Structure 1
Amino acid sequence: MSEQIAAWFNDVSRLQLMLGLAVLALGAVVLIWRRGRQDQVALSSALAESRDQAAAEKARADQFSDNLRQAELRLGQQDVRLESHGARLAELAEERDGLTDALHQARQQAAQIQTELAEARLRAEKDRENAAREIQTLRELREEMTGQFKLMASETLRVQRADMQRSQGEHLSALLTPFRDQVHRFQTELQTRNKVLDEEGARLREQILTLHQRSEQISREAVNLTRALKGEKQRQGAWGEMVLERILEESGLQSGTHYDIQSSWRDEDGKLWRPDVVVKMPRQKIMVIDSKVSLNDYELSVNSEDPAEAEAALRRHVAAIRTHITTLGDKGYHQMDDNSVDYVLMFIPIEGAFSEALRADPSLAAFALERGVGLTTPTTLMLTLRTVEHIWAVERRESNAMEIARRAGALYDKVAGFVDSMEQVGKSLDQANRAHGQAMDRLTRGSGNVIRQVEMLRELGARAQKKMAIDHDGAEVGELPHPDQSSQTG
């Protein structure tokens, strides 16, 4: 444009030179006319020709002036556009500097939290070592108690009836009470430490995850945003599913165990269900995630230089999200199973697409919740999935704690049953002792006891190779006469 203007200025200069030459020619004609009337006709003709040429040059100069004014007008418009682009470039540079500072701060915070996490892990390792020592102590105590139980059983069978009845209850109670107290204390301390470690670890993991996602988001959105949004709708869906799968892998959940991708089944009515992702939760609960939202209009709103066109594209973007919310609500994913949660998660893979839609329509989130749909982005979905993973971990620890408590209770019940059995043994021994005493009384006590009668048979001449050495009453009542005495009497 500047070269054209310079060319026009050169043409104007030539025109001015030609006008000057024309004036000189006119002066020459006048001079010649003064010199002689004989050349008047020729001079008049030359003068007329010079005037015509001057008029033509003037018209050409006017045309050049018009062209110059138009060129200046276009140059002014170009200057305005250049100033507008310069302001936009300044804004982008300022935004880039802000993002760079935010990334630097996020990296510093991530490093600090990594240090805190290392310290927390060290404390957790010490707590685990202490818990292991306590468990070993408990095992040694159990072994010691087992030996004491065996010793006590052996001693109980050897001691007398009176000593057993007096001491066995107190002795067993003294042994069982410390064991029960230590088991209860160990369970309480273990649950408290697990709770503290879980809360601290969850807090640190969430902070690290948030900062990590913020730093990745700054670089990832700059590279992938235009690449993903300028493609076809099918490519957009594949990109959104890829982002969703990566978030699922980084959440700590296990594929096939805690979630299924693109699984399909038919319900009792024969209706086919094929959600993008089904997340499994404790107590057989399930949660559905959908990732098929369109982002074409969001790309237009971001890249358009026309404010009116950008605003119209943003409105279409909000309308597309509302339409997809209505479609998800009508599908009834949250009602496909009795164990489904009462909402389905709609995944928007770009944070900016959600924030711009929410800025344009603040009622969008409430509109979605009314239809059983929850709007999520990579940040909020990761927090949700990490919460589900934490719930699974708590469920496993609760199951282990319940199993420990069940086994401790069963052991206590076994010991209590052993005590009851020992009491029954004592009662049986009492009954056996009483029966033994009564039998011995009949055998050795009183007049005409069995031993005395048998001894009298031996004294009367019954042949026997052994002699009973048991004490008995030797009453004379009812004794038979000795054979020698009977012969002498006769």
Structure 2
Amino acid sequence: MDAASLLLGLLLGALLATAVTLGVVALLARRRPDDPGLEPVHESLDHLHRLLAGMERARATAHGELREQMGTVGQASSQLKQETAALVTALRTPHVRGRWGEVQLRRVVEVAGLLEHCDFVEQPAGTNDEGAGVRPDLVVTLADGRQVVVDAKVPFTGYIEATQATDQAVRAQRVVQHARQLRTHVDQLSARRYPTAFRPAAPFTVLFVPSDGFLTTALEAEPGLLEYGFSRDVVLATPSTLLALLRTVAYSWRQERLARDADQVLEVGRRLHARLATLSGHLTRLGSALGTTMTRFNETVGSYERSVLTAARRFDDLGIAEHPVPTPEPLETVVRSLRPAGPELPGDDDGGALPDAPFDIPRDGTRG
């Protein structure tokens, strides 16, 4: 586009310069060659000649570049046409067409965020209720354990002929043919009875069409095609609608995993609480035993002071003993009891610690 504009500008400039030159030549023809007043005109003509020569060279260069660009565009267009024709020819082959549909289905599943061998299985083998072996393209497992069967179909021949038709009547015929092909796929999928081969399964089969244009074009000729599929337990889905369905399935799986993790946390919490209760019981009994032991020790110290130590100190008075008999001190430390910290939430000033209230231990060794 830029080269064409430049070439047009150069042509207009050349025409303008030619007109000016012709006007100047006509003026010179009416005057004498040795007229001193013509000298500036001669200089201007020389300058204009050089300018025109430069413009001509630029025009030739621009024309060459434009021709080269047009050649490149022509080659690219020819190559694209050949590749498009090769692609159309390849897609006319049922095997290639089916493989392309499977690849598109796999991409939609990956975009939806499902995990292979966990949320879905590709091409599993099964046997329906009529004893026939079936192998769909995809089986998606729902969070409740049920399964949804998905099979990809590519009705291509009628569609591509409809898009290539230049006559409206021919295009309308090809669109009707395309709709019939898709309707035939619905009948074939319904006859395979996939849900009976993968139980528990949803009572329908998803027919995946790998392009929204395929379904839209078919609905032009047969608006009731979706309702016909529902009546045959077949749901027609394009990449956009199937993506929404699979993302819903992926979300339900994430919620299921979160709920399962929450149940596990609850179970661990219950076990921890039971073990804490057991440990608290042990500590309570140990504290009671320590309190009783301290009471008995103090009673023994009192009896020792009254009955034994008094007689032993007479040896000290008589100067017989080499070392005085030491006097044992009673234990005054109290045992800390285990009591709930109250309804305060964690993070209080005391850090949720247990109170420092001691056991109430009477002198007879029993707890109050």
Matching residue within 324, 340, 346 for 2:185: 324
Q: Does 1:387 align with 2:251?
A: no
1:264 aligns with 2:125: yes
Secondary structure in structure 1 of the residue aligned to 2:148: strand
Q: 1:378 to 1:228 in 2, by over 3 A?
A: farther
Find the aligned partners of 2:164 and 2:205 in 1 and give their Cα distance. Answer: 31
Rate the CA distance shift 1:268–1:358 in 2: closer, same or farther, 3 A. Answer: closer
**CA gap 1:232/1:427 in 2 versus in 1, 3 angstroms:** same
Letter in 2 for 1:417: T
Alpha-carbon offset, residue 376 of structure 1? 1.0
| Mapped pair 1:286 → 2:147 | yes
Sort the Cα spacing of 1:267 and 1:312 in 2 relative to 1 into closer, same or farther, 3 A.
closer
**Are the aligned partners of 2:215 and 2:238 in contact in 1 as well (CA < 8 Å)?**
yes
Report the residue type matching 2:99 in the other structure.
A
* Aligned amino acid, residue 227 of structure 2: A
Work out whether 1:404 is the aligned partner of 2:265: yes
Larger-Rg structure: 1
Whole-Å separation in 1 of the counterparts to 2:195 and 2:86: 31
What RMSD, in angstroms, separates the aligned Cα atoms of the two structures? 4.4
CA distance in 2, matches of 1:329, 1:427: 77
How far the C-alpha of 1:379 sits from its partner, in A, is: 1.5
Q: Indicate how the Cα distance of structure 1 residues 361 and 308 shifts in structure 2: closer, same or farther if over 3 A, else same.
A: same
> Hey, what's the Cα distance between the residues in 2 that align with 1:343 and 1:363?
18
Residues 368-415 of structure 1, C-alpha deviations (whole Å, 9 max, x = no match): 122221111112222222222222222222222222222223222222
Structure 1: unaligned runs, 5 residues or longer? 1-221, 441-490
Equivalent AA in structure 2 for residue 349 of structure 1: P
Alignment length (residue pairs): 238
The 3 A distance-change label for structure 1 pair 225 and 326 is: farther
Question: What TM-score does the superposition give when structure 1 sets the normalisation length?
Answer: 0.39
| Alignment partner of 1:297 is 2:137 | no
Q: Which amino acid aligns with 2:198?
A: D
Other-structure match for 1:194? none
Structure-1 separation of matches of 2:215 and 2:238: 7
Q: Secondary structure at the match of 1:374?
A: strand
Secondary structure of the 1:240 match is helix
CA distance, structure 2, for counterparts of residue 388 and residue 225 of structure 1: 38
Deviation of 1:286 (Å):
2.0
* Residue of structure 2 equivalent to 1:238: 99
- SS of the residue corresponding to residue 201 of structure 2 reads coil
- Alpha carbons of 1:418 and 1:292: their partners in 2 closer, same or farther (altered >3 Å)? same
**1:355 shift after superposition:** 1.3
Letter in 1 for 2:244: L
**SS, match of residue 343 in structure 1:** strand
CA distance in 2, matches of 1:283, 1:310: 46
Question: Does structure 1 retain, via aligned residues, the 8 Å contact 2:190–2:234?
Answer: yes
**Which runs of 4 or more aligned residues in structure 1 lie more than 6 Å from their structure 2 counterparts after TM superposition?**
222-226, 426-436
Give CA-to-partner distance per residue, 1:273-327, whole Å, 9 cap, x none: 2111122333433221111342211222222222222222222222222222122
3-state SS of paired residue (1:397): helix
Identity percentage over the alignment? 26
Distance 1:223 1:405 in 2: 60
**Mapped pair 1:360 → 2:225:** no
The answer to whether the Cα contact below 8 Å between 2:153 and 2:210 also exists between their aligned partners in 1 is: no
Partner of 1:247: 108
Other structure's SS at 1:314 match: helix
TM-score, normalising length: structure 2: 0.51
Distance 1:327 1:424, change over 3 A: farther
Q: Distance between the aligned counterparts of 1:270 and 1:258, measured in 2?
A: 26
Counterparts of 1:310-349 in structure 2, within 5 Å, are 310-349=171-210
- Do the aligned residues in 1 keep the contact of 2:147 with 2:199 (CA within 8 Å)? no
The structural deviation recorded for 1:239 is 1.8
Deviations 1:1-55 (A, max 9, x none): xxxxxxxxxxxxxxxxxxxxxxxxxxxxxxxxxxxxxxxxxxxxxxxxxxxxxxx
Show CA shifts across 1:246-277 (max 9, x none).
Answer: 22333322333332222224479854221111
CA distance in 2, matches of 1:424, 1:243: 70
| Bigger share in helix | 1
> Structure 2 vs 1, CA of residues 318 and 417 (structure 1 numbering), >3 Å: closer, same or farther?
same
Which residue of structure 2 lines up, in the alignment, with residue 377 of structure 1?
238
Deviation at 1:346, TM superposition (A): 0.5
Aligned partner of 1:415 in structure 2 is 276
